[in-house]
Structure 1
Amino acid sequence: MSVSTRIAGLGVHLPDAVRSTAETERRLRAENPGLRLATGLISRMTGVECVHVAPDDWQASDLAVAASRQALEESPGEIDLVLFTAAAQDLVEPATSHIVAAKLGLNAPVMDVKNACNSVINGMQVADALIRTGQYRRVLVASGEKTSVSVRWRLGDSRQFIPSFPGYVMGDAGAAVVLEASDDPDGGIRASRFFAESRHWNVGTLPGGGTMRTHDPDANYFHMDGAGLQKAFLEIGPEPVERMLRETGYTMDDFDLVAIHQVALPYLAPIFERLGVRSDRSLVTVAEHGNIASATLPLQLRLARERGMVGPGSLVLLIGLAGGISLGLMVVRL
């Protein structure tokens, strides 16, 4: 009997504290008196109105644990593998998945799967393969993104503002998915495709904690070439999505929801138009939540459920975009 992998539980945690973009601008001016920052510039450029901010004493693992408790409440039962899947991490060593498992009281093998904002869907890809090959039956895929600790508030000079800009619209969040083996041949994860253009790896970096700039205090902040990032994704274009649709036989009209990673509001309309995504089958989350990295797609899936856009049997397309540069596509029957 063939085995498929279905989503049995879903959880998303958004911290209660919210920082508006106006508050962000006020703090930047207060800490950098020489910075000429036009009022409302960040909001006009990105469409982001506010972001969630985790408590100072919370770690990335705490965000993942909060979301995991929701997912496990929705789908109780034994977990035989824990994957921590986020751009953030508590420590370089050990794997943050150990800390998540310990906080949840789980006694299971663990590993971290990291690929920037595609970490969750890459984790789902790994879990799907391990479940289909019979090595595990129920896998917890958990993400905790605490990006607020890497925002540069004190600028050395005005030239640091532009490469630091994307960090001002990144928010904190946790997400978790329980994946389990199923004998439904038409349900669960139906297809996945992943692509990378790694020559663009340096257009967006957060070097801290690595061997490249180990003891450099300036390496603990986001440093991104926003124009270069946009150009890299435009080079990839819609062809990988179109290719996957050809190979799988699906069309955009088959999907009840197309969830796509969101960095800034102005980028979305051209992407939706090029892909042929209908507005009534997509959700905009970046305005109210900012860029929450790998937790973005789980949040859109949860909101779509809450709003009645999807339910059991719905077909969903997940589109992940990540620094590096990488693109992830996953078709899921709920």
Structure 2
Amino acid sequence: MTAIHIQGLGTYVPERRITNVDLMSRVDTNDEWIVSRTGIKARHMLAEDENGSDAAAKAALCALEDAGIEAGEITHVLAATCTPDYLCPSTACILSGKIGSHGAAAFDLNAACTGFIYGLETARGLLAAAPDAKILLVGTEAFTRRLNWNDRTTCILFGDGAAAVVLTNGEAGRPRKRLPAAARLRDVRCGADGRQYALLTVGGGTARDYRPGDPVQDDFYLQMQGREVYKLAVRSLSAVCEEILERNGLTLDDIDLFIPHQANLRIIEAVGDRLKLAADKIFVNLDEYGNTSAASIPLGIGDACAQARILPGSRVLLSAFGGGFTWGAALLEF
């Protein structure tokens, strides 16, 4: 197996932008309360006629253009999401039809907010087994469709969006529009603790035996035990970052930029403090998007590139945590 590279990147956020002030008309909250506790100032919401697969398709087509690869050349379509259009068929199958990747293997990954990192690990395994594969990996979420707007502790946190990458074996290749250079995927580490699954759930599956005409219950929507999630998130993010660095003979001094999952500014700051990482090395964009779950990390890569926070030669550390309870980290070299 030769070096695995991210050859193209594409992002999409819905046009509809919901500020904290906008939320005051539908939930008992205010801008100061939200910003002080989360760092979030706005989030984006899908239009009524838009689904997660539509957002994924827009991001995917941009990534394919960036990579200089036609949809028909893609061999695998992976969709990281915990808010799929349907339980069946997969969002990846719907996506492949929308972009024209007919005949490509297509399936979803659900590791919640860690989905993109899990997707990188899955792509790495597929490329080891099939070195000529061309893989489209998309993180896409429609989380505003699964929020209880009567619960001000959770409905303020999440937004919708999608981002996609194309991964192949081989050389870095041609120049790109959205990446300063093709990014080599140096390593990925993933973990989970299923004993903690009840800390963060989104209903709609078969654990509840709904019958035609039954009203949905609160567990149909996102439910989260915030304090426990915070403690586990800080511990798991810090530990997996230290693990992947040690495994690769690196220290935080070797890292040019850290892109953590954008869930809550307090979590990001606590992880930075625990790792003793300078604030100017930590990328934050959750003030604009909120928590976009599996789309969070690739949206961060896109914004960091657009802001010239990632340059040729940059070494970037990614890390995420999510429901399950899941966690993961990845190392990119541009």
Provide the TM-score with structure 1 as the length reference: 0.89
- 1:88 to 2:83 alignment: yes
- 1:178 to 2:166 alignment: yes
SS across alignment from 1:232: helix
- Superposed CA offset, 1:155-191 (max 9, x none): 4xxxxx3xx622322001011010011157x971111
SS across alignment from 2:188: strand
Letter in structure 2 aligned against 1:320: A
Quote the residue 1:190 is aligned against.
186
Distance in 2 between the 1:95 and 1:331 partners? Answer: 28
Quote the residue 2:322 is aligned against.
322
Distance in 1 between the 2:93 and 2:7 partners? Answer: 22
Deviation (angstroms), 1:242: 1.9
Deviation (angstroms), 1:244: 2.3
RMSD: 2.0
Quote the residue 1:220 is aligned against.
220
Distance in 1 between the 2:30 and 2:97 partners? Answer: 46
Conserved 8 A contact 2:20-2:31: no
Choose which of 48, 51, 54 in structure 1 pairs with 2:43.
Answer: 51
- Superposed CA offset, 1:145-164 (max 9, x none): 111111212x4xxxxx3xx6
Distance in 2 between the 1:239 and 1:149 partners? Answer: 32
Deviation (angstroms), 1:235: 4.6
Distance in 2 between the 1:12 and 1:187 partners? Answer: 16
Choose which of 128, 139, 164 in structure 1 pairs with 2:124.
Answer: 128
Distance in 1 between the 2:183 and 2:95 partners? Answer: 29
- Superposed CA offset, 1:99-127 (max 9, x none): 00000011111111111011111111111
- 1:61 to 2:64 alignment: no
SS across alignment from 2:156: helix
Quote the residue 2:178 is aligned against.
none
Quote the residue 1:199 is aligned against.
195
- In structure 2, the CA distance between the partners of 1:134 and 1:24, relative to structure 1 (3 Å rule), is same
- 1:102 to 2:97 alignment: yes
SS across alignment from 2:162: strand
Conserved 8 A contact 2:234-2:271: no
- 1:245 to 2:241 alignment: no
Deviation (angstroms), 1:252: 1.0
Conserved 8 A contact 1:264-1:286: yes
SS across alignment from 1:139: strand
Quote the residue 1:12 is aligned against.
11
Deviation (angstroms), 1:136: 4.5
Distance in 1 between the 2:208 and 2:288 partners? Answer: 34
Deviation (angstroms), 1:59: 0.8
SS across alignment from 2:154: helix
Distance in 1 between the 2:153 and 2:43 partners? Answer: 14
SS across alignment from 1:296: helix
**How many pairs were matched up?**
316
Give identity over the alignment, percent.
28
- 1:28 to 2:32 alignment: no
Deviation (angstroms), 1:253: 1.6
- 1:166 to 2:154 alignment: yes
Which sections of structure 1, spanning at least 5 residues, go unmatched? 30-36, 156-160
Deviation (angstroms), 1:27: 1.1
Conserved 8 A contact 1:4-1:187: no
SS across alignment from 2:312: coil
Which consecutive aligned stretches of 4+ in structure 1 deviate over 3 angstroms post-superposition?
Answer: 37-40, 234-237
Letter in structure 2 aligned against 1:5: I
Provide the TM-score with structure 2 as the length reference: 0.89
